[in-house]
Amino acid sequence: MHQQNIEQDLLEESRQGEVLSYHAQTESNRKYYIESYGCQMNFSDSEIVASILAQEGMSSTKELSEAQLILLNTCSIREKAEETIRKRLKEFEHLKKKNHKLTIGVLGCMAERLKNKFLEEEKLVDLVVGPDSYRDLPRLIGQTDEGDKAVNVFLSREETYADINPIRLDSNGVTAFISIMRGCDNMCSFCVVPFTRGRERSRDAMSVLAEARDLFDRGFREVTLLGQNVDSYKWQNPNSGEWILFANLLEMVAQIDPRLRVRFSTSHPKDITDQVIQTMANYPNICKYIHLPVQSGNSRVLKLMNRTYDREWYMDRVNTIYRLMPDCAISSDIIAGFCTETEDEHKETISMMLWANYSMSYMFFYSERPGTPAAKKLIDDVPIEIKKERLNEIIRIQNQISYKHNMADVGKTFEVLIEGNSKKSEHDFKGRNSQNKMIVFPKKGNYKAGDYVQVLVQSASSATLTGIIMD
C-alpha cells in the first residue's frame, strides 16, 4: 500500500471508528441484525446483547432484508461517530417503508446521551437502550411490538453482566474479549464516557476466571481483558474480605494455562502500577504490549484535559515499562488541537511520540462533546483548519515511527498465534506476536488457526510484518 493511502486509511479510521456487522446462528423465527461502532467495549457489549436475545429464541442474520429487528450499538466519543450513525439510520428508511413491522433500535453510548431526543427527532427509531439496560431488551422489544416507542437508559452502579455468557459473534474461535469492569471515574474534561457509561464497578474475579477457563477449554487461545480503565479494577471477595487488584487478576488469568495468551485494554497512565508491569514481565503468556494513551505531550494541556498526570509522570511510566520489559510495544491515543493548544504545545506532543517510540496510535482532532466539562468551561478556539493540519502531521510522524518500529523486527523470529487466513489471500495465514503486531506468512504443513508457530520476519510496512514459518 502506498504511503498516501496508508495515511488516508489511518485518518479515516481515526475519525470514524470501527464498524462491524455481527451474526450468530440460533433457532428462531424472529431475526435480528446488529452493527457495532467504536471501542472494543461496544463489540463486547454486542456479544452480551446477542446472548440475551438468544435466550428469547431470537437468531441473527447477515442480511438486513431478513431482519425484523435492527440494532445499532453506538459510540459518542466523537461527533463524527454520531454523524455516521445518523447517516446509517437514514439508509434504513427504505427498509422501514417495505416492512412496517421492522423495529429499529439504538444501543450504547449515543443512546444514553441523546435519550428521548432520539425518539423525537429520528422517526425511524423505535427503541433506545443504554449500556446498563440490556437485560431489559426483551420487555422493551415487546413494548415496540405493541406499537409503542421504548426507552431505558438507566445507569447502574452494580450492573456488570457477570452472569451472562456472551455469544462470540463472528468469532475466529481463537481470540475473545472478556469485560472485567464497566464505567469510568476519570473525569477527563473532553470525554463523555462517565456520562454515558456511569461509575466504575468491577466484575466478580471468580466469574472472570470461569469465563477465561471456559474459553480456553473451548479452544480459544487468547483473551483480552476489557475496561474503560482496566488498571483501576478492584474487587473484594465477600467471603475472605481480600481485595483483588488488577495485577492480581492479571496473574490469576495468566495462570489458567501457559498456552492462553492474555492481553488487556485500556490503561490509564495514572493507574498503571509497577506491580502490573512486573506481573507482565513475570509471565511469558501475558503479551508484551500496553495501550497507554497520552492524549497530549504538554503538561498544561494535560491539566486542562484533567488527565491527572503531567508529561514527566507519563515519561516515568514509559521508562519503567521499557526498563522491566525492553521488548514491550507501547501504543497511544492522541488528540490534536485541544482547547487553547499552541503550536509549541503541539510540538511537545510530536516530541513525546518520537521519544516514546509508539508502535502505533489512534489519532484524532478535538471534537467538543456536549455536556462534558470542556464544553462547559473551556473555549474550543483552535480553528478546524489548524486542527486538521496538526492531525495530519501527527499521522505522518506516527507512520514514520511505525515503519521504523516494524523495520527493526526484520530478521527476528517471533512466536505467532495463528488467527486465520490473511484478508488478501487464502494461501497465507495472519496472526499477531506478543507485541500485538500483525504478521502475514504463507501456509505450511498442517498448521491451523489456534496453533502457535515461530515466524521469521522478512519484510515490513508501517502497518504489517511479513515472514515465513520456521520449523
| CATH classification of the domain holding 430 | 2.40.50.140
Give a yes or no: residue 161 inside a domain: no
Q: Do 262 and 384 share a structural domain? A: yes
Q: Do 198 and 101 share a structural domain? A: no
Q: Do 214 and 92 share a structural domain? A: no
Q: Do 287 and 197 share a structural domain? A: yes
C-alpha cell at 124: 425511524
The number of domains in the chain is: 3
Q: Do 360 and 256 share a structural domain? A: yes
Q: Do 421 and 335 share a structural domain? A: no
According to DSSP, the residues that pair with 261 across neighbouring strands are: 222
CATH (domain of 388): 3.80.30.20
Q: Do 303 and 353 share a structural domain? A: yes
Q: Do 319 and 425 share a structural domain? A: no
Q: Do 204 and 353 share a structural domain? A: yes
C-alpha cell at 62: 447477515
Give a yes or no: residue 305 inside a domain: yes
Mean pLDDT of 161-170: 88
Q: Give 267-305 pLDDT, tens digit per residue.
A: 999 999 999 999 999 999 999 999 999 999 999 999 999
Mean pLDDT of 231-243: 95
Q: Do 374 and 251 share a structural domain? A: yes
Give a yes or no: residue 159 inside a domain: no
Q: Do 180 and 251 share a structural domain? A: yes
**pTM above 0.85?**
yes
Give a yes or no: residue 388 inside a domain: yes
Full residue range of the structural domain in which residue 461 is found: 413-470
Contact 86/174 with Cβ under 8 angstroms?
no
Of 360, 392, 407, the domain-final residue: 407
According to DSSP, the residues that pair with 417 across neighbouring strands are: 432, 452
Q: Do 200 and 346 share a structural domain? A: yes
Give a yes or no: residue 333 inside a domain: yes
Q: Give 128-155 pLDDT, tens digit per residue.
A: 999 999 999 999 999 999 988 899 998 8
Q: 430 or 97: which carries more pLDDT confidence? A: 430
CATH (domain of 142): 3.40.50.12160
Q: 100 or 33: which carries more pLDDT confidence? A: 33
Give a yes or no: residue 164 inside a domain: no
